[in-house]
Chain A
Amino acid sequence: MTGDIVSVTVPSHPRYLCVIRDITARMADICGMDQATVDQVKLAVDEACSNVIKHAYKGDTTKTFSVIFRIREKEFEVVIDDSGPKADLSCLRGRDLDDIRPGGLGVHFIKRVFDSFAFDKRKRTGNRLRLIKRLDRGNEDHHNQ
């Protein structure tokens, strides 16, 4: 299992977010995460992909983006690649949770479950968001039986 990679490319239409969510949940489950964590990871990846559609593509549903899942010995990595203009980081800062207004929650959902959240500056065109979650590998036995 360690080193396994699963990748998917989907159109930038919100109707395909459910596909990403289903794959994300399965991958998190394979990593041995408990159900609450699986749910948090699923929401976080969904939010990151929603941001691609909303911010990178400005709602253009004719593009595509890719999501690559990697299971490593001690971490679960999700890389999201798009071909939009470079992300405006101010869009991804999130609002103060005490400031009750629509929007600005997605980044909080990402940061609460992933240990690392960063754009790969080496990517010349488009954006590459890399999310990393450290794994507690004590729970994976049931997947290997």
Chain B
Amino acid sequence: MKIIITSNSGHDVLAISGEVDMDTSPELRTHLLEFIHKRTPLLLIDFREVSYIDSSGIATFVEGLKGMMVYGGKLKFVAIPEKIGEIFSFAKLDRVFEIYGSIEDALHR
């Protein structure tokens, strides 16, 4: 897993590539907690290059979402590949997370 943090229209974008699993999710968690600590108002997660996610990766995002909700922050998912989306859907998390097709969609809705 690789994580690249960029900015788009003044908003933080965390782009993940590769596999998010029990081995790599602690690194993801560290990044999310830093954004929560800074009270980032909107964080976009770009899933375009994510090839795999397991329950520990999902748990990390649930924890991140809950952490951001405490101060009114928003966590938006962008460009989720079909097979990753299927996992979120099975876990009924597609109705918990805000999911958008592109960064532009996420910024303008």
Contacts and interface: CB of A to CB of B under 8 A. Distances in A.
Nearest to B87: A43
Contacts, number: 59
A109 B90 CA distance: 9
Contacts of A53: 22
B83 A39 contact: yes
Interface in A39-67: 39, 43, 46-47, 50, 53-54
A118 interface: no
A102 interface: yes
Q: Is the interface of A mostly helix, strand, loop or mixed?
A: helix
Contacts of B104: none
Contacts of A105: 55, 58-59, 91
B7 to A, nearest CB: 28
Contacts of A39: 83
Interface string B15-30: 0000101110000000
Interface stretch (A15-23, A74-82, A121-129): A15-23
A106 interface: yes
Nearest to A13: B23
Interface in A127-142: none
Contact of A101 (B21, B23, B62, B86): B62
A105 B19 CA distance: 18
B4 interface: no
Contact of A46 (B54, B59, B83, B90): B54
- Give the contact-size bracket for chain B: 20 to 34
B108 to A, nearest CB: 27
Contacts of B91: 97, 105, 108
Given A101-B62, A102-B59, A102-B60, A43 B22 contact: no
Interface of A: 13-15, 17-18, 21, 36, 39, 43, 46-47, 50, 53-54, 97-98, 100-106, 108-109, 112
Given A36-B86, A109-B87, A112-B90, 9 more contacts: A14-B23, A18-B19, A47-B55, A50-B54, A102-B59, A102-B66, A103-B59, A106-B55, A108-B90
Interface of B: 19, 21-23, 52, 54-56, 58-60, 62-63, 66, 83, 86-87, 90-93, 96
